[in-house]
Every structure is written in C-alpha cells, then in structure tokens.
Amino acid sequence: MTKQEKAINLSESAQVDQQSVQPFPRSRKVYVEGSRPDIRVPMREISLDDTPTDFGGETNAPVLVYDTSGPYTDPNVIIDVRKGLADVRSAWIDARGDTERLDGLSSDFGQQRLNDAELAKLRFAHVRNPRRAKAGANVSQMHYARRGIITAEMEYVAIRENMKLQEARAAGLLKEQHAGHSFGANIPKEITPEFVRQEIARGRAIIPANINHPEVEPMIIGRNFLVKINGNIGNSALGSSIEEEVAKLTWGIRWGSDTVMDLSTGKHIHETREWIIRNSPVPIGTVPIYQALEKVNGVAEDLTWELFRDTLIEQAEQGVDYFTIHAGVLLRYVPLTAKRVTGIVSRGGSIMAKWCLAHHKENFLYTHFDEICEIMKAYDVSFSLGDGLRPGSIADANDAAQFGELETLGELTKIAWKHDVQCMIEGPGHVPMQLIKENMDKQLECCDEAPFYTLGPLTTDIAPGYDHITSGIGAAMIGWFGCAMLCYVTPKEHLGLPNKDDVKTGIITYKIAAHAADLAKGHPGAQIRDNALSKARFEFRWEDQFNLGLDPDTARAFHDETLPKESAKVAHFCSMCGPKFCSMKITQEVREYAARIETVDVSVEEGMREQAERFRQEGSQLYHKV
C-alpha cells in the first residue's frame, strides 16, 4: 500500500460522485407497486410541455422510460456510499426459507483479507455475514420457476418490462407502432409474471440476482425482453482507486448500463468489489480467473482448481451476480487458432489455453464444471459462459475454433440446466455484417435459445478511436436477430483505458443499438418514446426534444452552440435550416392553410399562386440571409 493509500480511510472519506446523483431535467422518479408493498419498481417519468393551439394548450402526457440509475437520481433518497444502498430483497429471500446466514466468510482468501489489519482503512465497513442455501436446497430463480413458483423477483421484472404499457396506450402515447420482424422470438403484447416464469424455466431468460446482493433491483436478460447493455469498469496495474471505480459504476448506470462487470486486475480486487456491490442497484458480473491469476502472481501455469474454487466462493459470498467462466476453451481447440491473424484475444481464453498447454491436460474449468454448478446454485450466481476463442479480427470470424467452442458451450449449458442454474452465452467479437446472422443462428441452435451476450460485434477493423461506432452497427444487427445483451465498446477500445466521457459515449451508443433492435423486433411499447420525441420536434417544443433524448445534456449543448439565446428554445425553426427553410415549419403552414381551404385541390392551386406572389415581393431571390 502506498503512503497516500495508508492515509486514506475510505469508511470516513468516500463520497458519491455528484454528477451521478443529479436528477434528469423535467424528470422524476416514480415507483410502481406490485402485489406486496415492498415490490416497488422504479421508472423515470419525463414531463412534457403543452402543445400551443388556437384553443389553448393541448396536454401532452408524461412519458415513462426504463431507469437503471437506482436511488441515485431520486432526490428523496440520501446517498452515502460508505453505508451502501438500501436492502431491496432480503425480506423476499427470508420468506422462501431455504437459505441460512453463515457465521462469517467461508473462503480462505476472504478470511485472509478480513484479518489483514493493513487493509482496514480500505475495507467497506458495513458488511453483512453472507447467506448460502441450506443443505440440499437450490436457491436459483430457474429452480423456483421450474417448480411453478412466481418469485417477487419475477413479478418485479414483469412490471419493469411492461412499463405501464396499458396506461400508455390509453393516454394515446402509442397511436402507431410498426410491426416488427422478430426472427422467431415470441414477444407477447404484455409481459406478465407468468410469462417471465415460463421463460426462466425454459432457459430463454435469466434474472441475475445473487442472494448476497440484496441491494439489486431485479432485471431480466432474454431474447423476448428488452435488449440490455453491459458496461465494464475495473482497476488495473496502471492505477485507479476504489472511489474512482464506484464513481464509474454510478456514472455508467446513470446513462443506462443494465449490468456492470468489474474486470479489476490491479491491487485490492477483493476490497474494490465489495464497495462496488454494496453500492450497485444493477447486477454485477466478474471474470473470476482474473483474480485467481493475480493470486498466483500472474503465472497461469500455477493456477489450480482448489484456488479457483475458493475464488468462486469468495466472490459468491460478496454478492457477484454472474460469473464469466471460460470452460469451453478445450485443449483440442487451441491448435485451431494457430493460423489466425490475431490468435486468442480473450484474456480469460489465453490464460486457460496457456494452462492447458503447460500441463497438457484438459481445462480444469471444464472437468470440474459440475462442481462449479453446485457452487452457483447455492448462491444463485448465473453463468456467463465465456467465449475464450472469440475472433479478434474480421479475418478470423466464424472459424473452426470459434464455432467449436460454441458447440461446447451448448453442451455446458445443458449441464447447467440439469442443475437448474441460470446461464447465458458470451459471443464475439469481430464479425463482418454478412456473417452476423450466422453467429446468432448457430448460437440459438447450439445453446437451445439460452440468452446470447455479445461484445459488439465490431463490423470492421479500420477505425481505431471509433470502435464504439464499428461495434454499435453490429450490436444493433445482432440485437435485432435475437441477442439478449450487448457489451458496450468505448472509443478507447484497443487504445487505452476509458475515462468518464468515453464510458458515457459507449453507453449511449449501445442504448441506441439496443433500442433500435427493440423497434425492429416489434417489442410492445418500444416506439412510445420515438413518437413523443417526433411530435415534440414537429411542434418545436425544444426542451421536450432535449429531455426525451438519451442524452439531454449533449442535445441542449449542440443546439446552444448555434442558437444560445433562451428565445431560440421556443423558435419555430432549427439551427440547421433557419427560419426560411425549416421543412417542419413549412409543413405546419401548409397544414394550417389547407384547413382553411375547402378542398386539397383548391388549397394547392391557391397556395401556389400566393407563394409565387410572395417570391416576387421578396425580390425573386432564391436564398435569403438568416
């Protein structure tokens, strides 16, 4: 520990990032109550201005949007990161009666960290003793679903996905929605708790919600639900403090990250993760092999099953909701990567490939997979089966190594399901557009519709600095084809560690991709926000346009670069066309004029005559200075 780190006592000094707790403009947090008073599902309600008419103002109903920011954007909640977030789920877990509180941490490494006095100033001070399933019990959401039980978590996500759709229809917010093309997905007109239960029981969806993460606001990942996005955070050997990582978390969920992966590889991984989980309202994922490697000083050959098992228990007892496990990197697949342009680009994949070659043995994650399942179902940790052989370049897409591993992931999925353990599958990577659908189709075939979770894919390799765009294209496509969750890519991909602006850019890019996919699939209610923003745009309600957008701050800033005065925010033209050439203003004038004329034919003829006269009066100039 450095002198500076020794001087800092996080339990006294840690503060929330103030940028992350500001409510969005004209927005308020609302809570939709379920069948019991402690099921309170958060949503963000955006208030809209009235539309001016000749007969007074036409009221525009507020628009509800999906909200991942947790209590951070609720001004009625006092946030103290030193104490963590409020408990959402413990009463639900207690009521099921199948878990027990342990006397303390059961992992050897967790106990070592707890007994290290040097770490006292970095440690989160309000840690609960962990829970575990009672002997012989399975506490996974899949297990409950297969027994016909609708849990509080299932009801919660049904309310969250449905977004009060029936009320929105009644308010006229969904006058029109284009029919989607879902490529075989079965998206109902209304998401019910029973539908959620059926999808989880079938393995088509997961609710990542560890029993030791009671702060999490349940969400669902599956092809028949809204497309989700993941954002990555984590320290490295190059730096970043615990407080900075918590700030990255709160910043990411503000802009729409549905889950967050802590990919820390630097110092104090255990302590960093505790602070993140205790302050996270969204599911947290990890790649346990990263921490296991750090425990053996970065020497992959020294990894053992016993050390990895202890790492799984350590992280499960902290509350990690899903683990990336690279169990599909088999010894026989490694030679298939030899002729690749970019070889093995997955960090976890390369670690396991090196271990296999060094020992000339099969991947211990594969050979001990049943034992891993036993751990997962004792805490309800979901699998995110890692694609350790994903292509790292367009040239390597859809090759034998990638698809061989995918077939093995399908085999492992079925083993996980035998244990009633929730499971999703990770995917590429770098794939040109014409090969993307083959990836989705093959995954559905091999993995029997388990949720797919992809990194992009990047559709070209020629744009360093713009890979949020190259990957956003692929993300929108594969989301439409059936991918359930998209892992964001920032502009710094392949170049460096992302800062806050990069994180925001990556998340907004992927929110666009996910929403575009929802529209294309025909998800019920997906078009409500588009319709509301389009109406505001046509009616020159500038503030509503900003506030309905994914990033109100940037939209307002871009507008004000050209038209900074407040009066411009009520002007009936935009900064691109100006007052004379705004197509929407002209259309409004045409509509008003047509309403005063008896027939369309007469209005066209009369309008042409008047416009010709006006043109001559204004000097017959084709263009006018604004």
Rounded to whole angstroms, how far apart are CA atoms 66 and 518?
Answer: 13
Rounded to whole angstroms, how far apart are CA atoms 123 and 381?
Answer: 24
Mean pLDDT of the chain: 92
Rounded to whole angstroms, how far apart are CA atoms 189 and 525?
Answer: 9
Which range has the top average pLDDT, 56-65, 120-129, 368-377, 572-581? 368-377
Asked whether residue 129 is marked as a ligand-binding residue, the answer is: no
Closest-CA residue to 46 (of 66, 22, 62): 62
Asked whether residue 279 is marked as a ligand-binding residue, the answer is: no
**Higher model confidence: residue 56 or residue 527?**
527
Closest-CA residue to 425 (of 451, 461, 399, 459): 451
Asked whether residue 426 is marked as a ligand-binding residue, the answer is: yes
CA atoms within 13 A on the CB side of 43: 23
Asked whether residue 389 is marked as a ligand-binding residue, the answer is: yes
Q: What is the pLDDT of residue 358?
A: 97
Q: What is the 3-state secondary structure (H, E, C) of 442-496?
A: HHHHHHCCCCEEEECCECCCCCCCCHHHHHHHHHHHHHHHCCCEEECCCCCCCCC
Q: Which amino acid is at 223?
A: R
**Higher model confidence: residue 329 or residue 591?**
329
Q: H or E segment at 406?
A: helix 400-418
Closest-CA residue to 406 (of 369, 446, 444): 446
Q: What is the pLDDT of residue 576?
A: 56
**For the structural domain made of 193-521, what CATH number should be given?**
3.20.20.540
Q: Which amino acid is at 460?
A: T
Q: What is the pLDDT of residue 3?
A: 47
Helix pair angle (288-295, 347-359), 10° resolution: 50
Tally of residues, the chain:
626
Asked whether residue 326 is marked as a ligand-binding residue, the answer is: yes
Residue that is written with structure tokens 């098992």 in the block: 309
Q: What is the pLDDT of residue 345?
A: 97
**Cα-flanking dihedrals φ and ψ of residue 66, to 5°?**
-60, 135
DSSP for 486-548 reads EE---TTTTTS---HHHHHHHHHHHHHHHHHHHHHHT-TTTTHHHHHHHHHHHTT-HHHHHHH
Residue 57 — very low, low, confident or very high, per pLDDT cuts 50/70/90? confident
Asked whether residue 103 is marked as a ligand-binding residue, the answer is: no
Asked whether residue 347 is marked as a ligand-binding residue, the answer is: yes
Asked whether residue 136 is marked as a ligand-binding residue, the answer is: no
* Cβ-based neighbour number of residue 140 at 10 Å: 27
First-to-last C-alpha distance (Å) of the chain: 62
* Cβ-based neighbour number of residue 12 at 10 Å: 9
Closest-CA residue to 205 (of 379, 428, 449): 449
Asked whether residue 346 is marked as a ligand-binding residue, the answer is: yes
Q: Which amino acid is at 429?
A: G
Rounded to whole angstroms, how far apart are CA atoms 134 and 380?
Answer: 13
Rounded to whole angstroms, how far apart are CA atoms 352 and 556?
Answer: 48
Q: What is the pLDDT of residue 574?
A: 61
Residue/partner pairs of 54-57 with CB below 8 Å, 24 or more apart: none
Strand extents, DSSP E, 47-176: 51-53, 56-58, 63-66, 99-101, 131-133
**Could you give the C-alpha distances from 325 to 107, 299, 367, 374, 388, in angstroms and in order?**
19, 18, 12, 14, 9
Region label for 266, one of left (φ > 0), alpha (ψ between -120 and 50) or beta (otherwise): beta
Non-local (6+) Cβ contacts of 616 within 8 A are: none
What single-letter DSSP state applies at residue 397?
Answer: T
Tokens representing 576?
A: 């691109």
Asked whether residue 155 is marked as a ligand-binding residue, the answer is: no
> Do residues 237 and 264 lie in contact, with contact meaning Cβ atoms separated by under 8 Å?
no
Rounded to whole angstroms, how far apart are CA atoms 607 and 310?
Answer: 79
pLDDT, tens digit (0-9, with 9 covering 90-100), for 603-622: 666 666 777 777 677 776 65
Query: What are residue 56's DSSP bridge partners?
Result: 53
Strand extents, DSSP E, 372-443: 382-385, 423-427
Q: Which of 262-266, 349-353, 455-459, 582-586 has the lowest mean pLDDT?
A: 582-586
The pLDDT of residue 248 is above 60: yes
Is the sign of the CA dihedral 299, 350, 445, 182 positive or negative? positive
- Domain positions in the chain are 193-521, 572-626
> Do residues 387 and 428 lie in contact, with contact meaning Cβ atoms separated by under 8 Å?
yes
How far is CA 194 from its chain centroid? 24
The pLDDT of residue 251 is above 80: yes
Q: What is the pLDDT of residue 376?
A: 99
What mean pLDDT is predicted for residues 53-62?
Answer: 84
Asked whether residue 608 is marked as a ligand-binding residue, the answer is: no
pLDDT, tens digit (0-9, with 9 covering 90-100), for 426-463: 999 999 999 999 999 999 999 999 999 999 999 999 99
Residue 569 — very low, low, confident or very high, per pLDDT cuts 50/70/90? low
Asked whether residue 487 is marked as a ligand-binding residue, the answer is: no
Residue 564 — very low, low, confident or very high, per pLDDT cuts 50/70/90? confident
Asked whether residue 387 is marked as a ligand-binding residue, the answer is: yes
* Cβ-based neighbour number of residue 395 at 10 Å: 13
Tokens representing 116?
A: 């290290």
The pLDDT of residue 121 is above 50: yes
